[in-house]
Structure 1
């Protein structure tokens, strides 16, 4: 019994942070790598890159980048390089085998957002992969470009791409993987499997970075917003109390999650709503939200209570 007690106590000590707010060695590393902290940023001589809470800040398409990385199954957006504007670069939600990048036979570069690595700053990771892909393309090479270790200091995505809008295309599946390939027989199985896992998704056109999706038996609207968290929570509380957060009859604002430093409010929708029916209500909500953000008056007691409830209904996907 004593041996079991000592083992239990030792395991608990290993799993529990030494100080409030610290990360325990067996807990997931906050960089998002999926590894335990002791095997990632907590490893002696291991990953030491600084964790960046808002990695895509400053990019015009920041909210859409977060959505493409965390929400959208199949989506693409062209990028323009600062130093090589004629180079075709396509940002993709997901590439085959979750590859960080691919250089196509044509010399075009495909850059993946949903990858298996994580070294503290996704923007720096993307910059490192993009640099490797450009070098390979210039050398006439093609194939998968990987990133297997911390890239260290260097340019981030913001340093390499032009300051321009991000025109997002949401696809029904991953057929774009083989759009420029003649022989797809060997890829058919992987493509079918990927397509089956892709939930129907659409980007609204009347507002920025709002995505409708149909997952299982439910429909949702998930809207990535750039406003500072405190101000956004206050504005959402005002709208909730005023009854202005109901997009369509039967819809319900259920809370929000935090990813890469931004909040994403989420609505549950009646099945059969679809994306088109949300366009006008979302535009109206956007206007109401702007007015609520500009309101500097004190919150009422009901609004304070609503704000507290909203703050407690947040889930962090990626800090």
Structure 2
């Protein structure tokens, strides 16, 4: 494998798998998957010494930012993440399309890392793990071979150095052993990161230990000693209704919801009816009125409701 082809292949794999970590979330429209063709297309153009005009990158990046803004406007707060990552993806593609130097390639690789980080917040499926491992291996491969290409460019600038075309065509630089060594570096970094997560289980893999019970119980009892009975504690505040009208009709009733499950509040006992006078009824007035009621859950095993 020649040095030039090895670098191009590593770059295409790194940028493509970086986008897969984000697109695999399923949150983006299907047409956005066309972005996966950008790395391969730019690699072919570069091999043929062709380059896209600069205005094309400006058009792609500007269009992506406008699209992201429209997503945020249409979906509100729930679309902030999708809109921002869409803009980031557009800037990344614009950099891919207009890249001409190794510095541009390094900028694209850094943007791909940002995309992988963004994908971690949007893609929680198995596809992210597979794409992330592939990205970790290929990005190290791309960075190592990029340094070799940069060294070849420096050598070509020397008075008696080999030309860049000759060095890029050499097949004795990038060997299977070289590829295996760079892949091992990536795997060592991944294993070290996994070991770090195991050491701190509150943020990593240690939370999946079989002996550790980190989930919520099936139900939580709400029973306790009475806090309002016989005291002057405020159990409700009413605004917008005079005290005389409250005395005429507003009353409090309570139902026993003394246990909270994963789904809802439940009752362990029958409905408790609070005694009230026969004339008690809802407050009424000739005109419509708006009033606010603020309840405090301070009674034993009861949820107070204004009736």
TM-score clears 0.5: no
Q: Which has the higher contact order (CA 8 A, sep 6+)?
A: 2
Decide which structure has the larger Cα Rg and report it.
2
By percentage of residues, which structure has more helix? 2
Bin of the TM-score, shorter chain as denominator length:
under 0.3
By percentage of residues, which structure has more strand? 1
